[in-house]
A and B are shown apart, each in its own frame.
Chain A
C-alpha cells in the first residue's frame, strides 16, 4: 500500500514538474515572439489597408487615424481606419469580424467610400476549410473583388446575399456558409455607414 502511494506521489510530482516546465517554456517563447508577432500583424494590416483603399485617394497616415465604434457589433468593438484627403474624409476601413463563418471567426477589412460604395474588401484572418472556404482570400480566388464598387443602391439591399439565397454574389462549390458570412458582414457595414457616416469620420471619437 505504502509502495503504491509513494509511486503515485512521485508520478504526480514529475507530471507537475513537467507541466510547469512546459508552461514556463511556452510563456518564455510567447514573450520573446510577442513583439515580432504584433509587428508582423501591424505590417500586414498596413499592406492590407493599401489594398482596400487606393493610395492616391488619401494623404493622411491612415493606420493612425483610428476610431472604435461599439454599436455595430454590440459584443465586439470595431476598429475603423479613416482615409482623408487634405483633412476631408474620403473612406473608412472597418475591421469587422464575421462570427458566423463555417469554422469560427472571419476577420475582414471592409472599406467604404464617402459616397457609399465599397472600395475594397479583404479577409485578413480566418480558419475556413482549405480548398473550399478559403476562396475568400484575394490570392486564392477573384471572389472578394466582386464587392468593389458595390453599394446599397447596386445591388438592392435584398439582393445583398449569395445566389443560393436569392442574391447576386457567387457562393463556392461545396461552401456556401463562408461567402454568406462575408456578404452579410459587408452589407452590415454599408447599412451602418449610411446611418452613422458623421460619427464614423468624427475626429474626436476615440482618437
Chain B
C-alpha cells in the first residue's frame, strides 16, 4: 500500500500530472529558457531545488498556518526561499548565476511552486511533500531539457552547446554539431518556437496515453504491476 502511494507520487510528477505537459504551469520560464539544453537544464535544476525546499517547508508549517492566510504565507515562503537560493548561487556558483541571471528570481512566478504547495504539500507529510517536490521538479526539468534540445537542434543545429558554462572546462568539447554549416532557424530560437515545440510534445504525450489506454483492457493487471515496482 505504502509503496504504491510513493509510486503514484513518482508517476504523477514525471508523467500523469506533469506540470509542464499536463498542468501547463510555469510556461514563462519554460518558454524563456528552453532555447538550449544547457539553459534549460540550469533553470530546471534551480526550479527543482526550489520546489523541494518550498514543499518541505510548507508541509512542516502546514498546521501552524490558519487556512485564511495560507496563500500569502506560501507566497512569502516561496519568495524567501528563491531569494536565498539566488544569493547562494551568486556566492558559490557565480558562473552559473551569471548565465541564468534574470530567470532565477522569475522562479517565484512559476505557478507550479505555489500550485504544489497548495494542492499537495499543505495536505501531506514532510517526506511525501519533499518527494512530490522532487518528482514534480524532475518532470518539469525533463520537459524543459527535451524542449531545449529540440529548439537547439532545429534553431542552431547543435546539441549541448556551451556545456562548459555549467559543467566547467572539461565539458568544452561535449558540444555536438549535428548539422554542419546550418544557417539556423530563428523561429525555433524565439518564443514562438517554444510554443510550437511544447505543442508537439503535448500531442506526443496524448498519443502515447491513448495507445496505452487502448492496450489497457487486455493488460490492465500487467501495467498496474509495472507501475508499482517502478
Residues of A within 8 A of B (CB): 7-8, 10-12, 14-15, 18-19, 21-23, 25-26, 29-30, 32-33, 36-37, 40, 44, 103, 125, 127, 130-132, 139-140, 173-174
Once the chains bind, are B33 and A130 in contact (CB under 8 Å)?
Answer: yes
* Distance, CA A19 to CA B83, complexed state (A): 14
Residues from chain B with Cβ under 8 Å of A7 in the complex: 66, 68
A12–B65 Cα distance when bound, in Å, is: 11
Known: A7-B68, A14-B65, A18-B77. A40 touches B88 (CB 8 A): no
Q: Is the interface of A mostly helix, strand, loop or mixed?
A: helix
Smallest CB gap from B94: residue in A? A40
Out of A11, A33, A131, name the residue touching B91 (CB < 8 Å).
Answer: A33
The answer to whether A15 and B72 touch across the interface, beta carbons within 8 angstroms, is yes
Are A22 and B88 interface neighbours, CB within 8 A? no
Contact B83 A26 (CB under 8 A): yes
From B36, B66, B79, give the contact of A14 (CB < 8 A): B66
Among A29, A130, A132, A140, the one with the most B-chain Cβ atoms within 10 Å of its Cβ is: A130
Tell me, in angstroms, the Cα distance from A36 to B87 when the chains sit together. Answer: 10
User: What 1/0 flags go to B172-198 for Cβ under 8 Å of A?
Assistant: 000000000000001001100000000
Q: Which residues of B contact A36 (CB under 8 A)?
A: 91-92
Residue on B with the closest CB to A44? Answer: B94
Residue contacts A-B, CB under 8 angstroms, 21 given: A7-B66, A11-B68, A14-B65, A22-B79, A22-B80, A23-B80, A26-B80, A26-B87, A29-B83, A29-B84, A29-B88, A30-B87, A33-B88, A33-B90, A37-B87, A37-B91, A40-B94, A125-B98, A130-B35, A131-B190, A174-B186
User: Contact at A11–B87, with CB atoms within 8 Å?
Assistant: no
Q: How many residues of B contact A (CB 8 A)?
A: 33
- CB-contacts of B89-122 with A (<8 A): 90-92, 94, 98, 101-103
Asked, given contacts A33-B88, A103-B102, A130-B35, whether A15 binds B73 with beta carbons under 8 Å apart, the answer is yes
* Across-interface contacts of A15 in B (CB, < 8 A): 69, 72-73, 76
Whether the pair B186, A173 counts as a contact (CB closer than 8 A) is yes
B84→A25 contact, CB < 8 A: yes
Which residues of B sit under 8 angstroms from A29, Cβ to Cβ?
83-84, 87-88
A47 to chain B, nearest CB (A): 11
Q: Say yes or no: B102 contacts A127, CB within 8 Å.
A: yes
Q: Give chain B nearest CB distance to A172 CB in angstroms.
A: 10
Cβ-neighbour of A130 out of B39, B80, B88 (below 8 A): B39
Q: Is residue B170 within 8 Å, beta carbon to beta carbon, of the partner chain?
A: no
The interface residues of chain A lying within 8 Å CB-to-CB of B162 are: 139-140
Cβ–Cβ < 8 Å partners of B32 in chain A? 130
- B221 part of interface (Cβ distance < 8 Å): no
Minimal Cβ-Cβ distance residue in B for A12: B69
Collect the chain A residues with CB atoms within 8 Å of residue B98's CB: 125
**Nearest chain A CB to B163 CB, angstrom units:** 12
Q: With an 8 A cutoff between CB atoms, is B3 at the interface?
A: no
Write out the residue numbers on chain B whose beta carbons fall within 8 Å of the beta carbon of A130. Answer: 32-33, 35, 39, 103
Q: Which of the residues A26, A132, A140, A174 comes within 8 Å of B84, measured between beta carbons?
A: A26
